[in-house]
Structure 1
Amino acid sequence: MNKTKIIGAILLTLGLTGNALAENGFYGGAGIGQATIDACDGVTSCDDNDTSWKIFGGWEMNANIAFEAAWIDFGEISGSVGGSAVSAEADGWTLAAKGILPLNDQVGVFGKFGTIIWDVKGGGAASGTDDDGTDLMYGLGGQYMFTDQLGIVGEWEWYDIDNDIDLFSIGALFKF
């Protein structure tokens, strides 16, 4: 049995057609942005903004539905409590469903909803503090494709990590 027949049988088993995989597929990218962590209650001289970055990858099931995973470094917040310097760094893994509305061949807008598995580590007077968990996330964004494979994406995402985190980012997108 040749590879085409084997792949066709696998796709039929998954409920997909060969055309769906040929027209839509895997993508990946990286982004950089600004994270704001709402955690300054009781903290003086609080700096709750930092540069954030992420790497992401996903699979477009069709023109309107995708699934995306990412690793995000939210950066660090810092301040002082009772005269002692404190800081915290946050990062996490996300998995989200993504609804896409193509406006034309190059431009699309999207919304996403999913979950984040996060980790926060304390520094300074909070050194040794470590917290983690799983919470909800959602976001809105848009993308512009320069070619069939290379594009740019901008988005806002919200994470419900003990204290809310907002992330505004811009990144490069590559479709395989």
Structure 2
Amino acid sequence: MKKLILALIAGAAALSASAQTTSPKAYVGVGVNFADRNYASPAGATNLDDDGYRASGKIFGGYEFDNMWGMEAGYTDFRKSNSSYTLNGTRSSVSNDGHAWYLAAKATAPVNDQFNVFGKLGVTQVKYNQGLVSDDKTGAYAALGAEYKVNQNVSFTAEYERYGKSNDFGPKPNTWTLAAKYSF
């Protein structure tokens, strides 16, 4: 029994050591982010017309301490979007713009040599503008995703991100992102 326990401990140590063999790497990336632009219409409004899902840009960079742990920071521009509706016979329109910064810890689980899954958890600063009204909030940032490595430097990612809590206006905080990443 003692030999089995020692063998299990030695095996776990060997696996842990092999998982840590990658040297630390810095990386940068660009992505396309899709946020939902469907608005809640005012009570009694009809003929609601909004932008739905709309693409925007994202840039990010980070540092991988080893195969499992890292840090990432990024900026997402939610772009300008428009919505219009009819209320009491009068046609009205609303437009807004927004962006977000985030800083997050990143945990990665390798599936095989080319494919990883990851999760990120951190803090975000989100700003939305609608005409003369502005909303600036700090909240929790979280993401789940997958990464496909083309080679040791280039990879593609797909992830679901959450930028804080829902706002009264502007894009929803839930986004889908497709990105390219370069490690050096």
Tell me, yes or no, whether TM beats 0.5.
yes
Give the CA deviation at 1:161. Answer: 4.0
Moved more, 34-43 or 91-100: 34-43
**1:92 alignment partner, one of 97, 100, 103:** 100
Q: State the distance in 2 between where 1:73 and 1:135 align.
A: 17
SS of equivalent to 1:105? coil
Give the CA deviation at 1:69. Answer: 0.2
Give the CA deviation at 1:73. Answer: 0.8
Does the Cα contact within 8 Å between 1:38 and 1:165 map onto a contact in 2? no
Indicate yes or no: 2:40 matched with 1:40: yes
Give the CA deviation at 1:129. Answer: 1.5
Q: Give the corresponding residue for 2:25.
A: 25
SS of equivalent to 1:113? strand
Alignment of 1:98-137 (within 5 A): 98-122=106-130, 127-137=131-141
Ranges in structure 2 where 5+ consecutive residues have no aligned partner: 1-19
* Counterpart AA for 1:111: G
Q: Judging by fraction of residues, say which structure has more strand.
A: 1
Moved more, 163-172 or 54-63: 163-172
Q: Give the corresponding residue for 1:168.
A: 176
* Counterpart AA for 1:78: N
Identity of aligned residues (%): 30
- After TM superposition, where is structure 1 displaced by more than 6 Å over at least 4 residues in a row? none
* Counterpart AA for 2:160: W
SS of equivalent to 2:66? coil
Give the CA deviation at 1:33. Answer: 2.9
CA deviation vs aligned residue, 1:70-125 (integer Å, no higher than 9, x gap): 00012233213542210111101111111100112211000111111111111xxx
Q: How many residues were matched structurally?
A: 153
SS of equivalent to 1:62? coil
Q: Give the corresponding residue for 2:4.
A: none
**Looking at CA atoms only, which structure, 1 or 2, has the larger radius of gyration?**
2
| RMSD of aligned alpha carbons | 2.1
CA deviation vs aligned residue, 1:120-170 (integer Å, no higher than 9, x gap): 111xxxx22111110112111111111111111111111224434221111
Q: Give the corresponding residue for 2:17.
A: none
Does the Cα contact within 8 Å between 1:152 and 1:171 map onto a contact in 2? yes
What is the TM-score of this pair, normalised by structure 2? 0.75
Does the Cα contact within 8 Å between 1:35 and 1:75 map onto a contact in 2? no
